[in-house]
Amino acid sequence: MIDPEQIRDRILGALPGAAVEVRDMTGTADHYEVRVVAKAFEGCSAVERHRMVYSAVQDVIGGALHALSMKTLAPGE
Amino acid sequence: MARQVMEEIKKEVGENSVLIYMKGTREMPQCGFSAAAIEVLSSYGVPFKDVNVLVDQEKWAAVKVFSQWPTIPQVYIGGKFVGGCDILREMHAKGEIAPLIQSAMPDKR
């Protein structure tokens, strides 16, 4: 289990200035959904964007964080 | 001889036009994300191969490294990594999967 704040902090650490919304999908604090709007995503494919978010949580994904569903947008998308 | 699991994955990716690494099987997915991905792939009515990582821990670990992707499911079309469940669903909604599948099918080349 992991707090939503810890997920948001990790993503903000990797993508400074991003707008990050975190939602617990199941109420069990291990399946989260995030919506990330970041300038860093401009010009990047969906796979690249997801990899950027995954790398921000790489220490917990597969462990405390079982699943992370994500929507990744550049500003204006 | 030690198992060459990375080579096995490379072979699977090369030999199957549509391939999914998933938790469970297409008949009985063991995870909601895998189930959702199967639903999308099944909607195209083309043959695809499903590989159940739950029964192969070594391949489960290896495919994460191979794809540089930490979660399951993982979908490959035409030998190219497409993404996980979210990306597959997004691309499906935008109509971007059908052309990929079309160009990946051997009889349509």
The β-bridge relationship of strands A31-37 and A67-73 is parallel
- Total domains in chain B come to 1
pLDDT at A12: 97
Handedness of CA A25, B52, B15, B9 (dihedral sign): positive
Q: Domain of B14: which CATH number?
A: 3.40.30.10
B39-85: per-residue pLDDT in tens? 999 999 999 999 999 999 999 999 999 999 999 999 999 999 999 99
Pick from B33, B69, B87: CB nearest A67: B33
ipTM for this prediction = 0.89
Contact list in A for residue B84 (CB cut-off 8 A) is: 50
How far does B57 lie from chain A, in Å, by closest CA? 13
CB contact under 8 A, B71 and A71: no
Pick from B64, B81, B85: CB nearest A47: B81
Quote the domain boundaries for residue B68. 5-108
Q: Domain of A22: which CATH number?
A: 3.30.300.90
Quote the domain boundaries for residue A52. 4-73
pLDDT at position B109 over 60: no
pLDDT one digit per residue (tens) for chain A, 77 residues: 999 999 999 999 999 999 999 999 999 999 999 999 999 999 999 999 999 999 999 999 989 999 999 999 999 99
Q: Is B22 exposed, middle or buried (0-12, 13-18, 19+ CB in 10 A)?
A: buried
- Total domains in chain A come to 1
